[in-house]
Chain A
Amino acid sequence: MIRYTLTRFALLLLGLLVASVLIFLTLRVLPGDIAHLIAGVGSTPEQQDAIRERLGLDRPLPEQYLTWIGGLFRGDLGTSLLTGTSVVDELAQKAEVTVPLGILSLLIAVVISVPLGVLSAMRRGRASGTGLSVGAQTLAAVPVVWAGMMLVVVFAVWLGWLPAQGFPRSGWSDPWAALRALILPALTIGIVEGAMLLRFVRSATLQAVGQDFVRTAAAKGLTRDQALLRHGLPVVGLSVITVLGLQVAGIIVGAVVIEQLFSLPGIGRMLVADVAARDLPKVQGELLALTGFVLIVGFVVDLVHRVIDPRQREAS
């Protein structure tokens, strides 16, 4: 276990290293002259030089990279070109919207997909099982934006139950209003992510039906469904954990689009605005934070899976 943890940790560090180098190189080297880009088309060489000096672009690349990474260890992801604010501070502030949105989405996805996925596997070959499977297949093909629009039409425009857009200016000091603003966005991401998870749960359950220990339990006198629920479900749960990392990545991506649709002041919407405004130092910090988060979640998921799955432990 210790050996596995260390190996996996080394892979995580390597991943972070590769990610940071790729992000750094893409944003620094490929475009040609970043200073020219920032200063604008009609800028004088002196203006461009000033920007180069301010950003440290006149120094050699490895030094620039090390300065950036060195800042990371002091908890400094850089500062915005346009507003001069610290990227870490802005991320922390926007996380107040995005983190609850992500958690809510994940909860909705799991709550929808696990019971329905197991059900659709148990009812395989019957109308209800096929219906669930077809429904999930279709929902997984729906673009998240459009799913959000349809939910807005039904729940905000026609029924008027929930707000169509926006987040209360007072933030979480009015928890009910803030939560209300997040319900439709979270439902949108949760349903689309849940549809994908459902297909995974279904096939994991079908696989569990074929396992020896489920058959043995059935042979002892349990019905097929009892055997599956008591002895098969833990295995299904374990496989769900393995795709959780993928789900988190999916939810982050979903949040970028959905925050735009619902005008939520979260990390995703900030990233879109910064990319559009070409605030490159800020984009660099934000992209590293997001990919770093995805990599770390993957690391944690692998470790947790290793700890709670007895088969994995024996394998080592």
Chain B
Amino acid sequence: MSAHRQTPAQATATQPHRLNRRGFLAAAGTLAVATVAAGCSNTYDVASGFTGTDSGSGMSTLVYWNLLSGGDGSHMQAMEAYYTRTHPGVNLQSTILSWGDPYYTKLAMATRAGSPPDVAIMHVSRINEFGPPGLLTPLSLDLLAEHGMQPKDFTPRAFAKAHFRGHQLAIPLDTHPLVQYYNTALCKKAGLLDSSGQLPPINGPAALLAVLRKLKKTGVTPVVCDQVNDQSTAWRLFYTLYSQGGGKLVAGNGTKVILDEALATRVLSFISQMAAEGLMVSNVDNNGGTALFLAGDAALFWEGEWEVAVFQAGKLPFSMQPYPAVFGTDVAWADSHTFVIPRQPSADPEKLSMALTMIRTLLGQSLIWAEGGHIPAWLPVRATAAYKRLKPQSNYESVADRAAYDPPAWYSGAGSDMENYAGAAIGTVMTGGLSPQAGYREMRQAFETLSKETVPV
């Protein structure tokens, strides 16, 4: 035992110069640690690479995050190009992230971690979630006025929605409602168009069913409204019809469920009837739905207005109109893209001013944005003849003034739990997998569960 204990000590004592192998290993090991440590100590450059902090080139950098891809993305890039041309001293770093939860998760975490973008796009419906934990910089009306933006310059409904508990938290860019696309050639064949080649407004459930049945007789898919891998569209259809009937969902910022059983069941029954009669095709995802309408296989398409560029590029004979007034009024689900200034780790009035100037510049280019289908929130553009001439995009312009936004709750808004859970139940009713009553019960249960959950904001 004692001999064992002494062995290493003896070894070092009697062979002081045998350092070759073991010494090399020790040195190499130490080097490995040193390399890792050195990698860590160099974080300043790495961080500046990620966050885009100025590296002394004389240009100021403005970091801008958005979730706009596809047609929206290219229109936004055109607007950014205008800003870059007119502001050569600013290095605009624009980052496009994936729509929905992934975007909002990254935005929330980056802001919480103290390295937010200088400007970001946010759906106005998500302000209830980002406002309370203080992730957004409140914008004083004086500051906005200094940068050429006054409340009267915006669609009032959108501007009011961007106001939360006494603070203006966002600057609206647009209103984007659910609309009805119609294939003019197919509707003409079914004898539905008026003398001017337009589809006359449809009022009431009976009138809508009559139109769909007429279309079905011509052998086409009357209407496509996708729901596979897309709870949002199912939600938008339901919320449009439910809001038309004057329904309310939740109160007390989401803590109380006031879902109207009679109205909700009526709406779901109507949806279910369209599915059962083969009038509405819903077993497709968003790409599939768009493809059906683009190929001229479907006469009507219920979707947000943002697909317009796809059909124009496809040279499809089509037009657009507000979503039919099925249950009383012709309100429709809508949301607004807004600009927000995420809460900065330290106040930088110069950067804030730069960001507001950029926002004001992009708002001035709203006509480009309108080409993508969105109704500009910036009235100096919305009121122009140039916008009114933009067809079919300006056909549904008035919907912006009666937009039905998702109700305020910490779990509501674009890509939120409310849309996901309710949309899942509605989508299953749309394909006949659930009865209207069962769909209502599932939706009710989901809302009840959400309303009782620990509020994380």
Asked if A and B bind, the verdict is no
Q: Which residues on A are within 8 Å of B, measured CB to CB?
A: none
Q: Which residues on B are within 8 Å of A, measured CB to CB?
A: none
